[in-house]
Amino acid sequence: GAVVSQHPSWVICKSGTSVKIECRSLDFQATTMFWYRQFPKQSLMLMATSNEGSKATYEQGVEKDKFLINHASLTLSTLTVTSAHPEDSSFYICSGTRDASYEQYFGPGTRLTVT
């Protein structure tokens, strides 16, 4: 159990456009979801934490107006990259946790390329 999916798995978009990435917990209710960004051959950097029904908490240095996060239900969180630019190209990974769980369940990631 505890499967997290992401859609799309990869996306190419033009500079200036917006792109939405979905993160779904398939067989559990994720009260908290996390969004990470990973550059090639680097570690995961936490972007934001979202709790269902609440505004996301962004990490220092992450622009909340550029990376819009919505966690409208216990099984779905979305990350929208607005007015994307080539420097936003990255691998975006989400994860979800159940209440008081010691484990984060990770999605397979979404590769975003902005041309």
Partner 1 sequence: GEDVEQSLFLSVREGDSSVINCTYTDSSSTYLYWYKQEPGAGLQLLTYIFSNMDMKQDQRLTVLLNKKDKHLSLRIADTQTGDSAIYFCAERRGGGNKLTFGTGTQLKVEL
Q: Which is nearer to partner 1, 84 or 109 (CB)?
A: 109
Cα–Cα distance measured from residue 100 to residue 31, given in angstroms and rounded to the nearest whole number: 10
Bridge partner residues of 5 (DSSP): 24
- Please, what is the minimum distance in Å from the beta carbon of residue 71 to partner 1? 15
Among 7, 20, 66, 111, which residue sits at the site for partner 1 (rule: CB under 8 A)? 111
Residue with tokens 């420097």: 87
Among 50, 69, 107, 112, which residue sits at the site for partner 1 (rule: CB under 8 A)? 107
Asked if the bond preceding 40 is cis, omega within 30° of 0, the reply is no
- Report residue 86 as tokens: 């080539």
When asked if residue 97 is in the footprint of partner 1 (CB under 8 A), the reply is yes
Among 43, 60, 65, 87, which residue sits at the site for partner 1 (rule: CB under 8 A)? 43
Cβ atoms within 10 Å, residue 9: 12
Binding site for partner 1 (CB under 8 A): 4, 6, 32, 34, 41-46, 49, 91, 93, 95, 97, 101-109, 111
